[in-house]
Amino acid sequence: MAAKIYHEGMLTETRRDKLILMTAHHPRIRQLCWPEEVLFTENGEFVGFLMPAVSSDYMDLSHSVLQMAKESVRNGMMKDWDRLSLVRLCRQIVYVFIKMHEKGILMGDVNPNNIMIDVSEADRPGIIVVDCDSMQFGGYPCPVGMKAYTSPEIYKRQNTDNPHYGEFLREESDELYAVASLLFHILMLNGSPYEGKGMESIDDAIRNYNFSYRVNNSDIAQNVSGKDTPDGSYRMVWNNTYYKLKDLFAQVFTGKGSAPLPEWFDALKEYSREILNGNWTREVIPNRYWDTQDHKYNTDITCEWCGAASNMPNNRYERFKQIRRPLLCPACNTILNSMKYRPVTPELDAEIPRTFTCKVCSKPYTLDNYYDAYLTDIGTADHDRICSDCLKKTHVLKCSYCGKNVPLKVKDYLRNRNKQNYLCSDCRKEVTLTCSGCGKQFQDIFRYKDIRDKKGKGYFCKECRDKWRKS
């Protein structure tokens, strides 16, 4: 047993009465360090309580699992842990919360510092929950909390950016949000659901449900562009996460509603089984994209910068080949994207030119970041050498048939300006005609119809025209 003795300022009647109630209604959940006995001095003064002692082999999640993004931790004290270990840990956490909620207990202060694990138990990770005296129980609120695990609905109900947790009772939906946040942090190696490229502050993103990660669920995807999904390892981990879990995360973090604990438990159980069956990777940080529909890796590539073997989603591979963008591994792609924010220096200017000649107006122009400069220098199709003025300007081409001036964006203008017979949209729109030769209906453009009408002649399909040319 271990004793928790409070500082003098913490020795309140409310805390004493709550502990007396807790010891009288023990939930008998073995994973909880639940108060066993309230402690008093010989004079009857309240000082603390007794609880089960935790072995020194146990560490809190903050200093173990949530450090696994670091290679030194993965190769050191967490060397036996893989993706399956993390999934089993999450399932054990959900199981304990299910038991707590059945007993009318809300943890309240859900955070990784209050959950302990034995890092040597990678195959069957168990947990111990500490600081149970702060839990919401018997009408007594939990007086503490962390912003990263605070539901946006609490901010709305309390109408404040800094809620006083001890002044209100949390709802079960608040706890479900906090559990989802904890599971996300574990599976995503301490990455936040609201931290992404070009995002606002995490506090604002949480309150506005601005989820960073792309999802395939059509009911949710319309609110999540995925453009802010972080590059590098977080993108790879998310890509290799079981699709049912991704849907549950997106449901919670876009504000669509809470995900019940049994749904998490079942999805984690399925995920474990899929990993064991070889359908999903066991890697903590995968270095290859996984096709969740075909259950196989996507297109293999050799990184054009470092030479490492990697892969990328098939659709991205095809698009990058089409626009002549370099095929990079996740690590090198992160470096490329970071070039958007690198400060301008003479040394880098000598390595990556930022001044180019506009192919439209022939004037020199200078780009303000090395990301765009590098892609422009190597000639990717989505980084044409066009200055900002020409990109904003509307360019005009005359229709070769009707003579109408057609306003075009610069890339459409460049693509069509050398054509001898450029047609406006009206002249090239398709119309349905009836062939005067064989009577079959066919499609052709308006210009053909108009020319034949002016000549007072009929329309002929391609087959009939080809037949007459050969005869």
pLDDT of residue 221: 56
Model pTM score: 0.71
pLDDT of residue 116: 97
pLDDT tens-digit readout, 58-80: 999 999 999 999 999 999 999 99
C-alpha separations of 251 from 109, 188, 206, 210, 291 in Å = 22, 17, 14, 12, 22
- The 3 state secondary structure assigned to 241-304 is CCHHHHHHHHHHHCCCCCCCHHHHHHHHHHHHHHHHCCCCCCCCCCCCCEECCCCEECEEEECC
C-alpha 274/C-alpha 84 separation (Å) is 10
pLDDT of residue 292: 60
In order along the chain (471 residues), what is the average pLDDT of each group of 10 residues?
A: 93 96 97 97 95 94 96 95 97 98 97 95 94 96 94 91 92 97 96 79 82 74 67 84 93 92 97 91 83 70 92 85 90 87 88 92 93 92 87 91 92 85 92 94 93 91 88 70
Q: By three-state DSSP, how is residue 401 classified? A: coil
pLDDT of residue 232: 74
> What is the rounded radius of gyration, in angstroms, for the C-alpha atoms of the chain?
32
pLDDT tens-digit readout, 177-236: 999 999 999 999 999 998 876 666 777 888 888 888 887 765 665 566 667 788 778 888
C-alpha separations of 174 from 136, 137, 255 in Å = 12, 15, 12
> Domains in the chain and their CATH numbers?
54-202 (1.10.510.10), 290-338 (no CATH), 346-381 (no CATH), 394-428 (no CATH), 429-471 (no CATH)
